[in-house]
A and B are shown apart, each in its own frame.
Chain A
Amino acid sequence: MKFLSRKATCNSHGQDSSYFLGWQEYEKNAYDEITNPSGIIQMGLAENQLSFDLLESWMANNPDAAGFKRNGQSIFRELALFQDYHGLPEFKNALVQFMSQIRGNKVTFDPSKLVLTAGATSASETLIFCLANPGEAFLLPTPYYPGFDRDLKWRTEVEIVPIHCSSSNNFIVTKSALEDAYQRAHKRNLKVKGVVITNPSNPLGTTSTREELDLLLDFVQDKNIHLISDEIYSGTVFNSSPNKFISVAQVLKDRNLADNSELSKRVHILYSLSKDLGLPGFRVGALYSNDDTVVSAATKMSSFGLISSQTQYLLSCMLSDQKFTSHYIVENQKRLKNRYDKIVSGLRNAGIGVLPSDAGLFCYVDMRHLLSSNTFEAEMELWKKILYQVKLNISPGAACHCTEPGWFRVCFANMSEDTLSLALQRIKDFVDSTKPGDESRGSSRSSRHSSRSVMSLTKKWVLRLSSNGHEPER
């Protein structure tokens, strides 16, 4: 066997987890309204397909953008040869403007501090390469996006130490949870280089509160480490209350810190157009940092994942059309809110609760009462039932390293409204069909309550069993 590298033969790319398994099953038996109405409905993919028509009409009205023309003149040559890793200036300018718009124009971004990459996956990995050496660690609140196990750890050889969050306070990050995670890392002789948060959160859909952000900033300042804020879902905030989404950039600004202050230099933001604009296929990601060394190193590393100049140009035209972007942001928000309301009421009808949230392309659903026992094995059992019987692919909390079994992430923006109705119907039917066993379940429920304390002790090894692969917490 022509021996390959350790990275090639290990499985810390995390792609053997259930998250990816569900995708595979879906691909084998994908739902289609006409050709396969009993197929599996994909509710595990956080994609925004609600506002394509807006993008299409813009492109139809602005043919020059896709036609390599600027003011009627062909700029094909210029774009064909453009491979400067500093990025197309007009695109970066338009992108920072868009990022500012999403934040209610409360903060502005400097294009020279923005590094473009082929997708957020590339941006996160590149940032870790710049901030940490192999063997060092980052703290992440749980539950978190399963892809981080690959993006942050695989080729960088960096560790993730989870910050345990609990549903008892809606999974908010607390000071004690932070300290606890830090100590655990310390005991494992891992040097902590920073904290990574996703705000708005994936899979929760919640936005970080100002208190949380202040707590995190104080924490990283105290420990002299970095804070990475993945704000990829910042444009999917559907709660129209004005202060619902607060970017870490805003909190820094409110502290009256200069951009070159020590703390500002340690806060880095990740972004992408895959969620807000629903253009994951375009592969547009970015990282933003006040630290010149990080920007310079990341820029050079971006050589390994530059965005096609064709795409940069097309999007620069679209995003600099501020009339369009303002309209898009508002309309997209409306549509997401509609979907969210629909899924929440549909689930409520089936007796299923949802974590209250304000953003994202999904909701975090509480199915703990449907578990046969308060274990991850039971969660896996339920997930499989939902996948194979109910024919819905949703994401189990274990894949997101949630410490409590029974929570599932369900996406609602990647299908038509009719499909969503069908999915909700299927769930209702499934829940109704399990009701007759209520009495037996009732007794097991009470015994479950008393055994919950025992369960929490066995949580760790159960986690290991069910997450089927790389388990950072031993």
Chain B
Amino acid sequence: MTQKHHQQQQEQSSNSKSGGGGGGGGGMRVIVPLQGVVQGRGGLVLGSVIPCALFYFLRLYLKRNRASPSSPSPSPSSSDLPRTHSRTLLSPRGSPALLSSRANSISKAPESPYYAGRKRALHDPYHPLSNPHGVLDLGLAENKLSLDLIEEWVVENGRDSIVGGGGGGGGELSIKGIATYQPFDGLLSFKVALAGFMSEVMGRSVSFSPSQMVLTAGASAAIEILSFCLADSGNAFLVPSPYYPGFDRDIKLRSGVEIIPVTCRSTDNFNLSISALDQAFNQAKKKGLKVRGVLISNPSNPVGSILSRDMLYSLLDFAQEKNIHIICDEIFAGSIHGDEEFVSMGEVLDSADFDRDRVHIVYGLSKDLSLPGFRVGVIYSFNENVLAVAKKMARFTSISVPTQHLLISMLSDTKFIQEYIKTNKVRLRKMYTDFVSALKKLGIRCTKSSGGFYCWADMSGLIRSYSEKGELELFDKLLNVAKINVTPGSACHCIEFGWFRCCFTTLTEKDIPVVIERIQKVIETYKS
């Protein structure tokens, strides 16, 4: 009698300590009366063994059912099984200390050509005089066309704006204003300056409110934060393809949100259609994937097309109908070189009566202002709850305060900014036109593009076999023989083969003939 009682007490006490196992407490409530029943008939042995066994199986059952969705692991053969509780019962002795599935899958994942090409270009960069046989990097969207204007401004005005700001007046050096803790989601004065810049860059057709902004160290962080806020691990975003290769990392890597590509075709000039969105949404539903939002880039990367006002309206309708979010990446909004008018999602919302809570805009200074090194990203949302959470998450990705101060001065210099935007557009347009027509002479056609730093070139005529393999072979030849780094369409998840993304803003006028000559050589080797 006392033995049974003691055992019962032991189980009870162990259950109250392991409060974390949700099944434990529930199990006990079943066992005790059961034990009483069995006691009356089965005696000591059955009275203890049966409830113990039942209890054990109940806990096992509850544990298995409590397993949450698996952590993001692109390689299904990842050795580290997510959330398998049986592992906790095994003795850890002897097995190596494991890293997370994320860390393991990053190290196992083959390097995408996007990153491989970049590495090559970094190690052997082209220079007309010192390294004429180096790699010409047309893979990373850096705008070198108008950097001289920015540099000039910084040389003339920069110094005072960095350390004069804050404490000491009269140009006195005071570090207190920039060194101490500041709001993690960005200085208010910086938000004001950025809101003004965004408006300026979008032709002043829309105004942005600083109170709806959360600043992050780069636009990648902005996209990641939105992924964390709007979706749970295992949910999905619809993303029109081809898309910016970086989204795979920004969205999936740590938040575990999936990307469902929405196919766009060359027959439509790679323009997005609502029917394609709808189809992708339904397919996802069938697979049991919950779609939480659509991520569009406008102007798009890699194609460079601009969404029409009508399409923006249709997207809002679609999002409303499916009750999902829209993330609008407008990072190239100030780099329009074509004749089409750029319409920001912000402008559409201003004018029409749509549910704003589901719309979030991403921006940054890496493209329009050529300052990727300074790490400035913006989340612009109409949803107060999202802003509140994003603000807290900005803790993980704050912008360096001296940089904020420098940029506040620069962005507030309206005359300079207006001049810069105008000149930059002119230079972009010229370089785009020259580059595209040079490629055309080689028989390489580019899709019509109105904004951004890329041309989306059709080199399918040059690939040996119409397949990803054929495309990558050409990519390899271009990188290693012609020494030109371009991004293959497959890295952008393009469904058609042979398309390559070429950035023209890293080139000078003199570089174009060099590029053409080198591609020519590759074409000739293919013909022979």
Chain A residues at the B interface, C-beta cutoff of 8 Å:
1-2, 4-8, 13, 15, 45, 47, 49, 52, 55-56, 59-60, 63, 66-68, 74, 76-77, 79-84, 118-119, 121-122, 125, 129-135, 150-151, 155, 184, 186-191, 193-194, 220, 222-226, 262, 266, 278-284, 291, 293-294, 296-297, 300-301, 303-311, 314, 474
Contacts and interface: CB of A to CB of B under 8 A. Distances in A.
Interface string B58-98: 00000100001001000000001011010110001111111
B232 A6 contact: yes
Contact of B385 (A4, A278, A310): A4
A304 B396 contact: yes
B180 A47 contact: yes
B107 A297 contact: yes
Contacts of A296: 106-107
Interface string B393-409: 10111111111001000
A67 B156 CA distance: 10
Given A81-B142, A280-B179, A303-B249, A224 B217 contact: no
B158 A68 contact: yes
Given A68-B158, A303-B249, A309 B103 contact: no
Contacts, number: 271
A83 B97 contact: no
Contact of B151 (A77, A122, A297, A308): A77
Contact of B232 (A5, A193, A306): A5
B515 interface: no
Contact of B374 (A129, A187, A310): A310
A84 B231 CA distance: 29
Interface of B: 14, 17-21, 63, 68, 71, 80, 82-83, 85, 87-88, 92-104, 106-107, 122, 142, 144, 147, 150-151, 154-155, 158-159, 162-163, 173-176, 178-182, 217-218, 220-221, 224, 228-233, 235, 249-250, 253-255, 292, 323, 325, 355, 357-358, 366, 370-375, 383, 385-386, 389, 392-393, 395-403, 406
A129 B254 contact: yes
B122 A311 contact: no
Contacts of B233: 134
A304 B399 CA distance: 11
A133 B80 contact: yes
A297 B68 contact: no
Given A5-B232, A74-B151, A83 B366 contact: yes
15 contacts: A2-B323, A7-B232, A13-B392, A76-B154, A80-B151, A155-B228, A188-B18, A193-B98, A281-B179, A294-B103, A304-B221, A304-B224, A304-B254, A305-B218, A310-B403
A282 B400 contact: yes
A134 B68 CA distance: 9
A155 B373 contact: no
B400 A74 contact: no
Given A47-B181, A80-B373, A304-B397, A190 B254 contact: no
Contacts of B85: 189
Given A150-B395, A310-B373, A293 B402 contact: no
B101 A133 contact: yes
A197 to B, nearest CB: 17
A311 B400 contact: yes
Contacts of A121: 395-396
Given A304-B397, A311-B403, A189 B151 contact: no
A193 B101 CA distance: 13
Contact of A81 (B103, B373, B401): B373
A303 B218 contact: yes
Nearest to B390: A8
Contact of A184 (B17, B221, B232, B323): B17
Most chain A Cβ neighbours within 10 Å, of B106, B230, B373? B373
A250 to B, nearest CB: 22
Contacts of B18: 187-189
B96 to A, nearest CB: 7
A81 B220 contact: no
Contacts of A79: 373
Given A68-B154, A187-B14, A4 B229 contact: yes
Contacts of B162: 66
Nearest to A274: B181
Given A297-B102, A474-B20, A190 B93 contact: no
B180 A297 contact: no
Nearest to A414: B180
B179 A82 contact: no
Contacts of B21: 187-189
A118 B175 contact: no
B174 A189 contact: no
A310 B402 contact: yes
Contacts of B398: 118-119, 283
A262 B94 CA distance: 12
